[in-house]
């Protein structure tokens, strides 16, 4: 299977070169929370993101790029001094329009789709919480990226969720657990990252 994938990618390489596509990898930090956080005393938490993108090499003011990102999000909850962490791991697929003002500065704006891969709470490490949260999310994203030297780039982005992430059907007739929002909430994430463009 791995040999087949390598062969497939090798066949695509000449196409990438001839099509003048730019490929980049990046990693950074997430600062995430949810809307209506007061209902569970939620606070912002720090996670990570790692991924890459593919895009035509910019030749005009407008361009576009497709990304794939593994993103750890979620929130801290509970009274001060006795807080726990809800981890929500997403596979994010941003589709962005780029505004290329110079070769060094880009603005990004577009839509983003997210697929929940894992959900857990540090106070219940051996217990999956996927049934409490919706598997699909979507929202809008926007940010700025600067390329100071060679292939190096740094950037910041804000992701605003437009879909409720908690699944009310999981509650049934029982009382919600401490980590579970009493109201419908959406993801809010600020990302800071650095990477390399090939």
Q: What is the pLDDT of residues 73-129, one digit of tens each?
A: 988 877 655 677 888 999 999 999 999 988 899 999 999 999 999 988 876 555 567
Q: Reply yes or no on whether the pLDDT at 39 is more than 90.
A: no
Residue 1 included in any domain: no
Q: Which pLDDT score is estimated for 167?
A: 79
| 167 vs 62, higher pLDDT | 62
Q: Reply yes or no on whether the pLDDT at 173 is more than 50.
A: no
**pLDDT range class, residue 175, cuts 50, 70, 90:** low
Pick from 153-157, 172-176, 181-185 the range whose average pLDDT is largest: 153-157
Question: Among the listed ranges 1-5, 21-25, 92-96, which one has the minimum average pLDDT value?
Answer: 1-5
Residue 92 included in any domain: yes
3-state SS string for the chain: CHHHHHHHHHHHHHHHHHCCEEEEEEEEEEEEEECCHHHHCCECEEEEEEEEEEEECCCCCEEEEEEEEEEEEEEEECCCCCCEEEEEEEEEEEEEEEEECCCCEEEEEEEEEEEEEEEEECCECCCCCHHHECCEEEEEEEEEEEEEECCEEEEEEEEEECCCCECHHHCCCCCCCCCCCCCCCCEEEEEEEEEEEC
Q: Which pLDDT score is estimated for 170?
A: 56
Domain hosting 104: range is 18-197
| 74 vs 171, higher pLDDT | 74
**pLDDT range class, residue 14, cuts 50, 70, 90:** low
Q: Which pLDDT score is estimated for 69?
A: 97
Residue 5 included in any domain: no
Residue 7 included in any domain: no
Q: How many domains does the chain have?
A: 1
Q: Which pLDDT score is estimated for 27?
A: 98
Residue 12 included in any domain: no
**pLDDT range class, residue 183, cuts 50, 70, 90:** confident
Residue 40 included in any domain: yes
Instruction: List the CATH number of the domain containing 103.
Output: 2.40.160.20
Residue 190 included in any domain: yes
Residue 144 included in any domain: yes
In this prediction the pTM is: 0.83
């Amino acid at each position: 299977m791995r040999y087949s994938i390598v062969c497939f990618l090798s066949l695509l390489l000449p196409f990438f070169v001839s099509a003048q596509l730019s490929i980049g990898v990046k990693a950074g930090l997430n600062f995430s929370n949810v809307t209506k956080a007061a209902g569970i005393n939620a606070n912002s938490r720090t996670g990570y993101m790692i991924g890459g993108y593919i895009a035509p090499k910019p030749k005009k003011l407008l361009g576009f790029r497709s990304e794939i990102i593994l993103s750890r999000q979620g929130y801290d909850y509970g009274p001060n001094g006795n807080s726990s962490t809800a981890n929500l791991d997403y596979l994010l697929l941003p589709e962005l329009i780029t505004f290329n003002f110079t070769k060094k500065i880009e603005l990004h704006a577009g839509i983003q789709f997210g697929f929940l891969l894992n959900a857990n709470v540090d106070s219940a490490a051996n217990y999956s919480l996927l049934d409490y949260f919706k598997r699909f999310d979507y929202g809008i994203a926007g940010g700025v990226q600067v390329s100071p030297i060679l292939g190096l780039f740094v950037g910041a982005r804000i992701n605003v969720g437009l879909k409720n992430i908690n699944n009310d059907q999981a509650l049934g007739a029982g009382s919600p657990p401490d980590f579970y929002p009493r109201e419908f909430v959406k993801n809010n994430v600020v990302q800071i990252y650095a990477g390399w463009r090939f």
